[in-house]
Structure 1
Amino acid sequence: MKPLITFLFLILAMTSFAQIKVNHIAVHVSDLKRSMVFYHNVLSLEEIEEPFKDGLHAWYDIGGGAALHLIEAPDIIKDVSKVNHLCFSIPDMAAFVENMKSKNYPFESWAGKKGEITNRVDGVKQIYIRDPDGYWLEINDAY
């Protein structure tokens, strides 16, 4: 009987811990309207309700119940290292790359080779682009 009680206690303890999920990712931008055009037109993100309604914020659905929160703050110091990046997964890399080429939008591999795709050892294909403020975005096909 004691192993059963221990097992039930363990199950109860495991289910009582809160799970963590991403709610939103906030990114400071220097020009909100310019960034909104980029995130909508280049990445095709869907704008969602913006709760503050002050002209300094925009919100986009990024899937899984999470949102991208753009905040206009022109004087914020930012880190533009490629190591610090947002990553979006897409179902069709070839179509996305073709779209980048048709818009003449620059992209590069992890190594920095312009117009090239990185083929990771796990088979995932990835490219890197910059948003209007110079932040790096990884786009990969691990959808």
Structure 2
Amino acid sequence: MKTLLSVLLLTMASSAFAQIKVNHIAVHVSNLEKSMNFYETILNLEEIEEPFKDGLHAWYDIGGGAALHLIEVANTPTEISKTNHLCFSMDDMDAFISRLKSKNYPFEDWPGEKGKITTRPDGVRQIYIQDPDGYWLEINDDY
């Protein structure tokens, strides 16, 4: 009886919490081809199947069952802020920074110092880069 009660309580407790996961992040881009080149060559993301096949969408696997959707539409937003950013964690951030340097691709720390790395109070290292539309991306080693 005690085992049955434990299973019942555990089942009730787990069903009391909503289960949620990230499905995708959509990013508005001004030039799909240019943005695809950035996300493939700089971030090394793998393109995945997308259903629209209209030349205005590209989807990428970003891990954990989630996807990044690039959507080309005229009139991209003009307000760009580093506070609003996408964040990707890398398993080998040093190799990623080396790749950026080999491609002469600029990066900076949170305050904006070029070529520098921020170390958060919890020890996670982070840098910031911008995509072709100026959107900020944080890259960190909290993999």
TM value normalised by structure 1: 0.91
**Superposed structure 1 runs of 4+ greater than 3 Å apart:** 7-10
Identity %: 70
Partner of 1:50: 50
* Separation of aligned partners in 1, 2:85 and 2:77: 16
Partner of 1:97: 97
Report the alpha carbon displacement of residue 118 of structure 1 after superposing the two structures with TM. 0.5
Residue pairs, 1:54-133, within 5 angstroms: 54-133=54-133
Report the alpha carbon displacement of residue 77 of structure 1 after superposing the two structures with TM. 2.1
Say whether 1:137 aligns with 2:137.
Answer: yes
Report the alpha carbon displacement of residue 25 of structure 1 after superposing the two structures with TM. 0.3
Report the alpha carbon displacement of residue 39 of structure 1 after superposing the two structures with TM. 0.2
Structure 2, unaligned runs of 5 or more: none
Report the alpha carbon displacement of residue 15 of structure 1 after superposing the two structures with TM. 3.1
Partner of 1:13: 12
Deviations 1:6-50 (A, max 9, x none): x55542323335410010000000000000000000000000001
Structure 1, unaligned runs of 5 or more: none
* Separation of aligned partners in 1, 2:78 and 2:23: 22
Partner of 1:24: 24
* Separation of aligned partners in 2, 1:27 and 1:110: 22
TM value normalised by structure 2: 0.91
Q: Which amino acid aligns with 1:88?
A: F
Aligned pair count reads 141
* 3-state SS, counterpart of residue 104 of structure 2: coil
Q: Which amino acid aligns with 1:132?
A: P
* 3-state SS, counterpart of residue 101 of structure 1: helix
Deviations 1:42-77 (A, max 9, x none): 000000001111111000000000000000012132
CA RMSD of aligned residues (A): 1.7
Deviations 1:73-121 (A, max 9, x none): 1213254110100000001111111111110000000010000001111
